[in-house]
Chains A and B, each alone.
Chain A
Amino acid sequence: MKIQSLKKRNSDLSQSERQLQILSNGLFADGELPTFKERLERAGKAPLTPGKLEILQVNVGYMCNQVCAHCHVDAGPDRKEIMTRDTMKEILSVIEKTGAHTLDLTGGAPEMNPDFRWFVEEASKVGISDFIVRSNLTIIKANKKYADLPEFFKKHGIHVVSSMPHWTRGKTDKQRGDGVFDKSIQALKDLNAVGYGMPGSGLKLDLVYNPSGAFLPGNQASLEKEFKKALLEDFGIHFHELFAITNLPISRFLDYLIASENYEDYMYNLVDAFNPAAVDNVMCTNTLSVSWDGWLYDCDFNQMLEMKVQSAVQHISDFNMEILQNRKIAICQHCYGCTAGAGSSCQGSVA
Chain B
Amino acid sequence: MNLERIKYFNINLMEKTYYNPSDLRKFKNITEWSEELGEKFFEYYGKVFEEGALSAREKSLIALAVSHVVQCPYCIDAYTQDGLQRGINREEMMEAVHVGAAIQSGATLVHGVQMMNKYNKLSM
Across-interface contacts of A215 in B (CB, < 8 A): 81, 84-85
Q: Is B87 an interface residue (CB 8 A)?
A: yes
| Nearest CB of B to A163, in Å | 15
Across-interface contacts of B89 in A (CB, < 8 A): 168, 171
Q: Is A222 an interface residue (CB 8 A)?
A: yes
Q: Is A166 an interface residue (CB 8 A)?
A: yes
Closest to A223 in B: B87
Across-interface contacts of A99 in B (CB, < 8 A): none
Size range of the chain A interface in the assembly: 10 to 19
Mark B81-111 against chain A: 1 for CB-CB distance below 8 A, else 0.
Answer: 1001111010000000000000000000000
From A211, A219, A222, contact of B84 by CB (8 A)? A211
Q: Is A118 an interface residue (CB 8 A)?
A: no
Across-interface contacts of A265 in B (CB, < 8 A): 21
Across-interface contacts of A146 in B (CB, < 8 A): none
From B56, B57, B81, B85, contact of A217 by CB (8 A)? B85
Across-interface contacts of B81 in A (CB, < 8 A): 215
Residues of B within 8 A of A (CB): 21, 25, 56-57, 81, 84-87, 89
Across-interface contacts of A218 in B (CB, < 8 A): 85-87
Across-interface contacts of B84 in A (CB, < 8 A): 211, 213, 215
Instruction: Assess the B87–A216 pair: CB atoms within 8 A.
Output: no
Across-interface contacts of A152 in B (CB, < 8 A): none
Instruction: Assess the B57–A222 pair: CB atoms within 8 A.
Output: yes
Instruction: Assess the A166–B25 pair: CB atoms within 8 A.
Output: no
Q: Which of A198-248 contact B (CB under 8 A)?
A: 211, 213, 215-219, 222-223, 226
| Nearest CB of A to B61, in Å | 13
Question: Could you tell me the distance between the alpha carbons of A287 and B14 in the complex, rounded to whole angstroms?
Answer: 46
Question: Could you tell me the distance between the alpha carbons of A215 and B86 in the complex, rounded to whole angstroms?
Answer: 10
Question: Could you tell me the distance between the alpha carbons of A265 and B80 in the complex, rounded to whole angstroms?
Answer: 14
Closest to A215 in B: B84
Instruction: Assess the B57–A216 pair: CB atoms within 8 A.
Output: no
Question: Could you tell me the distance between the alpha carbons of A116 and B21 in the complex, rounded to whole angstroms?
Answer: 49
Across-interface contacts of B86 in A (CB, < 8 A): 218-219, 222-223
Instruction: Assess the B25–A268 pair: CB atoms within 8 A.
Output: yes
| Nearest CB of A to B14, in Å | 14
Instruction: Assess the A166–B85 pair: CB atoms within 8 A.
Output: no
Q: Can you identify 26 A-B contacts, CB atoms within 8 angstroms?
A: A166-B87, A168-B89, A171-B89, A211-B84, A211-B85, A213-B84, A215-B81, A215-B84, A215-B85, A216-B85, A217-B85, A218-B85, A218-B86, A218-B87, A219-B56, A219-B86, A222-B56, A222-B57, A222-B86, A222-B87, A223-B86, A223-B87, A226-B87, A265-B21, A268-B25, A272-B25
